[in-house]
Chain A
Amino acid sequence: MKRIILSEGKNDTIFLKELLTIKTLIEESKILFFDQNSQDKESNLKFLQDRYFEKLQSEWLLYELLVKSEGGKTKIINVTAAKLCYLCEQGRDPIILIDLDSGQIKCFIDELEAKLTNRFKGANLSIKSEELLKINEAIMWSSKLYKNSKFIGIIYVIGFYTTLEQVLKIDKVRDTDEQKKSKAKTYIRNSRIHEMFLKALA
């Protein structure tokens, strides 16, 4: 099944690219990357998001996974709400990767739930969330979505307790992309973070 990972920023996509390839969770050529922030907002990019969803959808292209960085947690929530029908109807079961900034993962999930139930007011949508896995530096929850008590999809949320940059020991300003990749590799080899993605992608 084709899947989608929604993350916050460019560093997340660098990290995810390393994680997915080092741990051979998925073949690199089958991953499609989208970074909202690196797009030129003034150029003719109408419906750009949808073009990436279509590329993933295409039977002719071999993409199995779309890795997106949205530019912040709020935008992740808004994109999830806007594309929820697509995500559920196509069985994409999205994985969300966020920084908790020393906050609670439940706060993010509550915000996501509030947005979804508010957006789909007349749809009798209900959500049941639970913790799935914990490691030293991250926690994973799942949110199961029901419409009229019928299961319609699942969203996985993986949150670093602090931030990705702190966990990877990245200097946001000084480190080059190559240095970030190298630090990501070191972290991935010495952590259990891949277990979370293995579980979500299973």
Chain B
Amino acid sequence: MKINEVEVSGFKGISNLVIRPKQINIIVGKNNTGKTSILEAIHCTLGVDIFKMQRKYYPHVANLININKKESKVLVKLEDKNYYLLLTRPELKEILPEFKKELLNKLKSIAPKTTDKSESWKKAEKILDKILSKDELLSELENESIRIESSGKKLNLFSYTQLILKEIEPLLDYVDKEIFQERFGRGMLSSLFTIRFPHFVHNKKEENPLSIINNLALEESLILSQSKSKINKIQNYLQDRKILKNLERFDFDKLLFKQEGKEYEIPYSFMGDGFKSLVGLISRTSEENKIVLIEEPETRMHPAYMREVICQIINFSKINNMQFFVTTHSSDLLDIILTDTLEPKYAEYLSKELNVIRLDYLGGDIIAQELNMEEAKEELEELKIDLRGK
């Protein structure tokens, strides 16, 4: 599983951008030059979870379409298959009946059981029709709605903005206040309308090609699911690479150390964030053929651990055929990759498989410069230029 090309058009701040990734892609650039947008574009297009995107940008999902463009288009070309994502702004007449139906269904789902349903909802519908004749609301609905198309499926998403929520408040008279308060609370009205469309695109039967790692450190649920063999693997790695001095035994509960014949334990939870991030990455060794998106792995990490993370990334890429997209602001990370301090086997792999993608503005648009290992090294060492852009 490897992405050979990504074309992004009209997605967030990106007007038009083409990148031709290699196995290890380091994305650099100033703030707001689109580093995260590239990861998100890949993330959305490979169809994992539009729902997460909706939650992240709610209630402004429609703003995913670049302000100067009519639509967002992302094309991700894999070795054997192309995936696309198309975001458009639907016309009001196309979405109004669907919005009305969806809203009524949502309200019905929390209606009191005792109410005379048919009579009550006829009234509610009349009120809704009246609400939906207001120009301000209609304009907001049109501006904040978006159509998502991917893998041959289409879906309209409505954002329940503050204005829309305020306008539909009279309809709350038709819902069960107790259920409503209990389940959502008045202050969380928007959450009622946000939670929907899980896994719109991703077909669960297919293998999910993506592995998204926003935070390298493992979450509690993942820690609990780690097998004994995985834990042993982590322990061996930590001991072989001498990550922790005097480490006798590693576990997610406690770490056992032995010094001058005396044993002592330190709870895993007491370990630093950098260490946990490294462990988190090591624990993912069993994954194969994945495309991994990592945001700023350097966060709260000492350069020495950063070096280990880099070595792990190279190992996974080489042995497990994993493709990495890593955003960074860290000059330490770039130094580790590009200066001559990496083991020759790692440096040799990077000389073929490293792609430094530098994002910047040119002619008012975000553009990408792609540098191979040799070019990036030359800029850093010979020309003494900051690869991250200035």
Contact = CB atoms under 8 A, between A and B. Distances in A.
Interface string B361-390: 111010111110000001100111110011
Interface string B248-272: 0000000000000000000000000
B17 interface: yes
A122 B384 contact: no
A82 B390 contact: no
Interface string A107-135: 00000000000011111110000000000
Given A45-B384, A49-B384, 5 more contacts: A49-B383, A119-B371, A122-B17, A122-B367, A150-B363
A95 to B, nearest CB: 19
Interface string A46-70: 1111100110000000000000000
Interface residues of A, number: 32
Interface in B207-228: none
Complex A-B, nearest 4 residue pairs according to Cβ-Cβ distance, in ascending order: A122-B18, A147-B363, A152-B363, A85-B360
Contact of A82 (B18, B365, B379): B379
Contacts of B363: 88, 147-148, 150, 152
Contacts of B379: 78, 82
B254 to A, nearest CB: 41
A89 interface: yes
A22 interface: no
A43 B368 CA distance: 31
A79 B18 contact: no
Contacts of B360: 85-86, 89
A122 B362 contact: no
A75 interface: yes
Given A123-B367, A147-B362, A79 B383 contact: yes
A83 interface: yes
A84 interface: yes
A50 B390 contact: yes
Interface of B: 16-20, 331, 360-363, 365, 367-371, 378-379, 382-386, 389-390
24 contacts: A36-B383, A39-B384, A47-B384, A48-B384, A49-B383, A50-B384, A50-B385, A78-B378, A78-B383, A79-B385, A81-B369, A82-B385, A85-B367, A85-B369, A86-B390, A89-B360, A119-B369, A121-B20, A122-B17, A123-B368, A124-B16, A147-B362, A147-B363, A148-B365
B271 to A, nearest CB: 31
Contacts of A150: 363
Contacts of B20: 121
A121 B362 contact: no
Nearest to A87: B362
A119 B370 CA distance: 7
Contacts of A89: 360-362
Contacts of A81: 369
Contacts of B362: 84-85, 88-89, 120, 123, 125, 147, 152
A161 B368 CA distance: 36
Nearest to A52: B384
B384 A46 contact: yes
A151 to B, nearest CB: 8
A1 to B, nearest CB: 17
Contacts of B389: 85-86
A115 B387 CA distance: 17
Contacts of A85: 360-362, 367, 369, 389
Contacts of A46: 331, 384, 386
A79 B378 CA distance: 10
